[in-house]
Amino acid sequence: MSVLIFAELDEGKLKKSSQEAIFYGSKVAGMLGTSATAVVIGAADQNELATAGRFGATKVLHAADAKLNEVNGMAYASVVAAAAQQEGAKVVVLAKSSLGDAMAARLAGKLKAGLAPNVIDLPDLSNGFRVKTSIYTGKAFAYNELKADVKILAIKKNTIAPEETDATASVEAFTPTVADSDFVLKVTNTEKATGDILLPEADLVVSAGRGLKGPENWGIVEDLAKALHAATACSKPVSDLDWRPHHEHVGQTGIKVSPNLYIAAGISGAIQHLAGVNSSKVIVVINKDPDAPFFKSADYGIVGDVFEVLPKLTKAVQALN
């Protein structure tokens, strides 16, 4: 009856968003009077796996079949479904990510489960199983009643602040059979920015728009991002114009982010842009136009020229470090 959490690896380490998912899952387990089990898929060393205990998992099921080394949403969903069956899990928790989203949907189909996407709070069990989700791209919230026997919760970043203990989780090998039909996609090429902070995972984001005038000017954006250890992002026209790669585009039709800090430089603040960033904790807007709509949604604002303001901010951060 345990609560099952899918914990995603990035280069053999538990992702930060997955640590949050484990902590969230352990809280739900506490509410249900049961324990939390994490499923981890792919190569990772035992000590790393045991750290799931620090965030509240009592047990880790580790599926390490070499066939699973390559990330594969369909096969991974089958592994988690098998784990849910073995553990008799009625609640499955995942952190939202491109992999997590793909798996959640396949899992919902397999387990005929009620899936709550974009969860932003712990469930309310006082009257059924109710959970708050973000809808209309952050413009509203819904209290979803999950009626199915099995419930899947896909949580957004910053849903809960994980607390760590020094507990360790026991690690068990998990070897379900996964059908060949889960291995029919052939990945022929992968391009991934290395060494950068992944935008959906980032606590701090420095984003820039058409006000930067051209891709050759992104140095001042990257400098500030580097000083802050932040990820970089951009508005839609900037990625449409190929000034920046598409995976940096935030908004209604791009990535939705919910970092602690979102700095927007030279972005006007169109409603479709705001939709992707409005769940950020703190928003800073830098724009030379005092009437730019973005100021209405900001916590801090500077009316000024990005070419002067951004380097000043970078210097101030460097001075602080």
Ligand X SMILES: Cc1cc2nc3c(=O)[nH]c(=O)nc-3n(C[C@H](O)[C@H](O)[C@H](O)COP(=O)(O)OP(=O)(O)OC[C@H]3O[C@@H](n4cnc5c(N)ncnc54)[C@H](O)[C@@H]3O)c2cc1C
Which chain residues interact with ligand X by CB under 6 A? 209-211, 235-238, 251-254, 266-268, 270, 272-273, 276, 287-289, 292, 305-307
What secondary structure letter does DSSP report for 33? T
Is the Cβ of residue 126 or residue 165 nearer to other proteins in the bound state?
A: 126
Structure tokens at 138: 């952050």
Name which position in 64, 122, 160, 198 contacts other proteins (CB under 8 A).
Answer: 198
Q: Is 292 in the site for other proteins (CB under 8 A)?
A: no
Q: What's the closest the beta carbon of residue 170 comes to other proteins, in angstroms?
A: 30
CA distance 11 to 27: 27
Which residue among 44, 52, 108, 171 contacts other proteins (CB under 8 A)?
108
Report whether 265 contacts 213 (CB < 8 A). no
Q: What phi and psi, each to the nearest 5 degrees, are found at residue 114?
A: -80, 120
Of residues 7, 110, 9, 1, the one with CA closest to residue 61: 7
Q: What single string gives the DSSP state of each residue in 64-133?
A: --GGGSS--HHHHHHHHHHHHHHHT-SEEEEE-SHHHHHHHHHHHHHHT-EEEEEE-S--B-TTS-EEEE
Residue 172: which of ligand X, other proteins, none does it interact with, CB under 5 to 8 A by kind? Answer: none
- For other proteins, the binding residue among 33, 140, 161, 177 (CB under 8 A) is 140
Task: Note whether 172 binds other proteins by CB under 8 A.
Answer: no
Q: Is 66 in the site for other proteins (CB under 8 A)?
A: no
Task: Answer positive or negative: Cα dihedral of 141, 23, 60, 99.
Answer: positive
Kindly write out the interface string for residues 224-263 of this chain, putting x where it contacts other proteins by CB under 8 A and - elsewhere: ----x-----------x----xxx----xx--x---xx--
Considering the rule CB under 8 A, would residue 283 count as an interface residue with other proteins?
Answer: yes
Q: With CB under 8 A as the contact rule, which of the stretches 33-41, 44-52, 57-65, 297-305 interacts with other proteins?
A: 297-305
* Position among 27, 54, 90, 106 found at the interface with other proteins (CB under 8 A): 106
* Residue (of 199, 284, 205) closest to 246 by Cα position: 199
Partner interacting with residue 266 (select from other proteins, ligand X, none; CB below 5-8 Å by kind): ligand X
> Residue 53 touches which of other proteins, ligand X, none (CB < 5 to 8 A by kind)?
none
- Distances from the Cα of 222 to the Cαs of 230, 231, 245, 269, in angstroms? 9, 9, 14, 21
Q: Which is nearer to other proteins, 173 or 193 (CB)?
A: 193
- Cβ atoms < 10 Å from Cβ of 74: 16
> What would the two tokens of residue 208 be?
């820039």
DSSP letter for 40, please.
E
237 binds, among other proteins, ligand X, none (CB under 5 to 8 A by kind): ligand X
Residue 276: contacted member of other proteins, ligand X, none (CB under 5 to 8 Å, by partner type): ligand X
191 binds other proteins (CB under 8 A): yes
295 interacts with other proteins by CB under 8 A: yes
* DSSP one-letter string for 208-227: E-GGG-SGGGTHHHHHHHHH
CB-wise, 19 or 258, nearer to ligand X?
Answer: 258
3-class state of residue 257 by DSSP: coil
User: Which of these ranges, 24-32, 60-68, 93-101, 211-219, lies near other proteins under the rule CB under 8 A?
Assistant: 93-101
